[in-house]
Amino acid sequence: MNILLVYPQFPDTFWSFKHALKFVHKKSSSPPLGLLTVAAMLPATWEKRLVDMNVQNLKDADLAWADMVLISAMTVQRESTLDVIARAQDANKMIVAGGPLFTAEPEAFPQVDHLILNEAEITLPRFLSDLGRGKPERIYQTDEFADLTQTPIPLWELINLRYYESLSLQFTRGCPFNCDFCNVTALLGHRMRLKSTQQLIDELDKIYSLGWRRGIFIVDDNFIGNKRMLKEEVLPAMIDWRKGKKGCRFVTEASVNLADDDQLIEMMVKAGFTQVFIGIETPDDSALAECSKSQNRNRDLVSSVRKLQQSGLQVMGGFIVGFDSDDETIFERMIDLIQQSGIVTAMVGLLQAPIGTQLYQRMLREGRIRNTFSGDNVDGETNIIPKMDPDLLKKGYRKILDSIYSPKGFYERVRTFLKDYQPASYSVTLHWEEISALFKSIFEIGIKSKERKHYWRLFFWTLFNFPKKFPLAITFTIYGYHFRKVNELHVV
């Protein structure tokens, strides 16, 4: 049987890094890890072909080749997903679909022949068994959570690695916290489930054996959810794995309480972690209480961020406006928090209520759900009716983005970061893509763009004051170029 695995296209968002990727000659920030893992669960005798529409076109010849079209998508990929489904229907192919979009809204896709919902480790084998007997059901779903020690190594052979800026792996699922707007626990539960340490090392060995030397994103929603396991087994194994190897620096997601654990920070940095994404959300304690973000309350968020940066971890931050307790002062306070923290990669969105979350249920009870959840962090829309005047909220949101992504605000934040950041090592593995990016940034940003005076000021300021951080400064100018492009082109 010929299986065509399709990953629909993402729209142009802050997270896509589309405008930055062209500087390093890459087409996408990371590959479809879920589909690659599912591919490894399919029978070995089946022929498999994967089309990631973020790096290549879905051709009619691909559909003609296939006996089955297997689609996985997140909510933000809805528009492209509907197009893929329509094309597969026109080609008269069996359509099988799974992933967060379909799990959250199975009723929205009557065109799909078979829905494999929740975690594939449980529901996919049931579908395959029934398919083998010629009696597949339409929907496969479960309330159980998968044993990750049974999850196979992704089938990396199905993609062209050179298209991607980073590769990905997953070590845990679930999160111990209870943020009401987050659909992670709705999909994956509160109990932390882990692969074995040996599985992690085996996946790293596979990636390294393929010649990969760039970044690796550990996509766990909260990598530090089980600190004891990290300290006793996982990080020591990663530290040992790195000995004698080049490249392969790690990025992950964690809760802000990482800043409270000096030993954990030190071990992560020693293991090769250089960046961590943290949901900062808001400077307002009432809003944090409202959304049950207890881990962020009663702390100096700026100090926590600076501690991580001074310990060698770059902090990327997520921020939200539109909580019920927000008033008109929140916009300036948010700008101040972002600027003071030196978080260069600051992603700000309007509060949305994903289906299945506690927030969604509360908004539904209060009659405040008004349209479909888009999953898009740049469309300037929300699927809830806010308590703040909607026009005021949208105007304030626009003010935040215009301020933090303006050349003045952005470059000031870069300088704040570079003053605080103390990397564990200044050794940087420069690939030809990074050399090319420097010259392209000089042309695109230093010569052609309106922000060129800010670019050159940072260029020489870094060379004179922090020459070892110069490659990082150039990287951030490219990030800023992307953020401004998205802000100008797409934010309503």
Q: Where are the domains of the chain?
A: 2-140, 165-404, 432-490
Give the separation between CA 153 and CA 330, rounded to whole angstroms: 45
CATH of 2-140, one of 1.10.10, 3.30.70, 3.30.420, 3.40.50: 3.40.50
Of residues 181, 156, 216, 158, the one with CA closest to residue 30: 216
For the whole model, what pTM was predicted? 0.94
Fold for the domain defined by 165-404: TIM Barrel (3.20.20)
- CA-wise closest residue to 170 among 190, 193, 191: 193
CA 162 from centroid of its chain's CA atoms: 20
DSSP 8-state symbol, 230: I
pLDDT in single tens digits along all 492 residues of the chain: 999 999 999 999 988 999 999 999 999 999 999 999 999 999 999 999 999 999 999 999 999 999 999 999 999 999 999 999 999 999 999 999 999 999 999 999 999 999 999 999 999 999 999 999 999 999 999 999 999 999 999 999 999 999 999 999 999 999 999 999 999 988 999 899 999 999 999 999 999 999 999 999 999 999 999 999 999 999 999 999 999 998 899 999 999 999 999 999 999 999 999 999 999 999 999 999 999 999 999 999 999 999 999 999 999 999 999 999 999 999 999 999 999 999 999 999 999 999 999 999 999 999 999 877 777 756 678 999 999 999 999 999 999 999 999 999 999 999 999 999 999 875 556 678 889 999 999 999 999 999 999 999 999 999 999 999 999 999 999 999 999 999 988 776
Count CA atoms closer than 13 A to 193's CA, side-chain side.
18
The CA distance from 463 to 469, in Å, is 8
Residue 207 burial (10 A CB sphere; 0-12, 13-18, 19+)? buried
- Per the CB < 8 A criterion, the answer to whether 459 and 418 are in contact is no
For residue 408, the tally of other CB atoms under 10 A from its CB is 10
Sign of CA dihedral 172, 279, 235, 160: positive
Structure tokens at 263: 């030993």
